[in-house]
Structure 1
Amino acid sequence: MPADVRPMTVERTAIDGLARITTKAVTDERGTVREFFRTSGFADAGVDVPERWAQINLTWTRHGALRGLHGEAADKLIGIAAGEAFGAWVDARPGSPTYGAVHTERLAVGIQMFVPAGVCNGFQAVSPDGCQYLYCFGVEWTPGMAGIAVTPLDPDLAIAWPIAPDVADPASVSTKDANAPRFADL
């Protein structure tokens, strides 16, 4: 069987700079190789990313749990290593032409999002066994790093989380995230 090559594709979202990426994939009888990151591939697609990522984190999140919404002062490339998630992004960059815009979508293996610095990123694990969520940061995260947080439960953002969060259960949403300010209070 000849290899099936699917090229990388990029779709722009309603948030300036937030891009949805379908990874390049080469499939043959052995399985699939996905190209998570190649500097020249992103440059050719017009996505301005760091040539080198400073920190990479992999989280496992249980079914139904929420993480975020966090807008660090760092560009991020996020993707799913296993399972599925429902992602949400909010443009919290003062002066941005899309300030206040919200974008949501389901994420699975082979789908990535490039998240510009200052755009809040959050997700909920929706697969029964949870999900593994990969974060690449343009700069190393440090305690007290510049950035903002917005509660993922902000009713004004109207994020339709697929699994109703239980605010009384810290395994569903952390106290820190639940108590983060509403977007209007930034």
Structure 2
Amino acid sequence: MTVVPLRADATAIDGLLRITTKTVTDQRGTVREFFRTSGFREAGVDVPERWAQINLTFTQQGGLRGLHGEATDKLIGIASGEAFGAWVDARPGSPTRGTVVTERLAVGTQMLVPAGVCNGFQAVSPDGCEYLYCFGVEWTPGMAAVAVNPLDPALAIDWPIPPDPGDPAMVSAKDAAAPLFAELA
């Protein structure tokens, strides 16, 4: 049996953490702990004891979602397939405001996203990907949030599959119409 402990690594955005899940592998296969309060606390990661809402999305290859920064912390991860993730610090007064982090995501890699940091991803695996979002509070219409156009050239995000903003299977009209980062207050 092989055990890989949970690990949390800082990124260039203040509070955005890359999480490697605890993994136990034996002859039958692998068990990954997507979330355990005590495990996160032992790794020095402050998280809620319970998540208020958990969403699972399926996105076809090339589909891009985001960049959205809700007023809640999020734990995100991949249930199947692979994605290319992008995060932009849009928090007023943050020492890392405007910083962009990108990361290839697969099963076993998660990101803890602080409230106000915009989260986006593109499904890159041929069969698409399933992407999990755990929210610290329930999402409600009109919830305080910020959105940034994922195609903003100033962000210089090198999406692995060139997005076509005119193709709704790749980018929603809402995301394509989101403001550029420089337009945020």
Q: Given the two structures, how large is their TM-score scaled by the length of structure 1?
A: 0.98
Match of 1:87 in 2: 85
Instruction: Work out which of the residue numbers 69, 72, 86 in structure 2 matches 1:71.
Output: 69
For structure 2, list consecutive stretches of 5 or more residues without a partner in the other structure.
Answer: none
The AA in structure 2 aligned to 1:81 is A
Residue by residue, what CA displacement relative to the aligned partner does 1:41-84 show, whole Å, maximum 9, x if unpaired? 11111111111100000000000010000000010000000000
* Distance (whole Å) between structure 2 residues aligned to residue 162 and residue 110 of structure 1: 20
For structure 1, the 5+ residue unaligned runs are: none
SS at match of 1:15: coil
1:93-172 matched pairs, under 5 angstroms: 93-172=91-170
| Aligned with residue 24 of structure 1, among 19, 22, 25 | 22
Match for residue 53 of structure 2 among 52, 55, 76: 55
Rounded Cα–Cα distance in structure 2 between residues aligned with 1:185 and 1:47: 33
| Alpha-carbon separation, structure 1, partners of 2:37 and 2:78 | 19
> Aligned equivalents of 2:24 and 2:182: distance in 1?
45
DSSP 3-state at the match of 1:117: coil
Q: Aligned partners of 2:145, 2:94: CA distance in 1, in Å?
A: 15
Q: Deviations over 1:142-173 (max 9, x none)?
A: 00100110010000000000000011101100
Identity among equivalent positions (%) equals 79
Residue matched to 2:10: 12
Distance in 2, matches of 1:152 and 1:104, equals 12
Distance in 2 (alpha carbons) for counterparts of 1:48 and 1:157? 29
The structural deviation recorded for 1:10 is: 1.1
Structure 2 length as normaliser, TM-score?
A: 0.99
Partner of 1:166, secondary structure, is coil
Q: 3-state DSSP class of the match of 1:14? A: coil
Which residue of 157, 182, 185 maps to 2:183?
185
Deviation at 1:39, TM superposition (A): 0.6
Aligned residues: 184
Deviation per CA, 1:20-43, whole angstroms, max 9, x where unpaired?
001000000110000010111111
Coordinate RMSD, CA, aligned: 0.5
Distance in 2 between residues matched to 1:7 and 1:43, nearest whole Å: 13
Question: 3-state SS of the aligned residue for 1:156?
Answer: helix
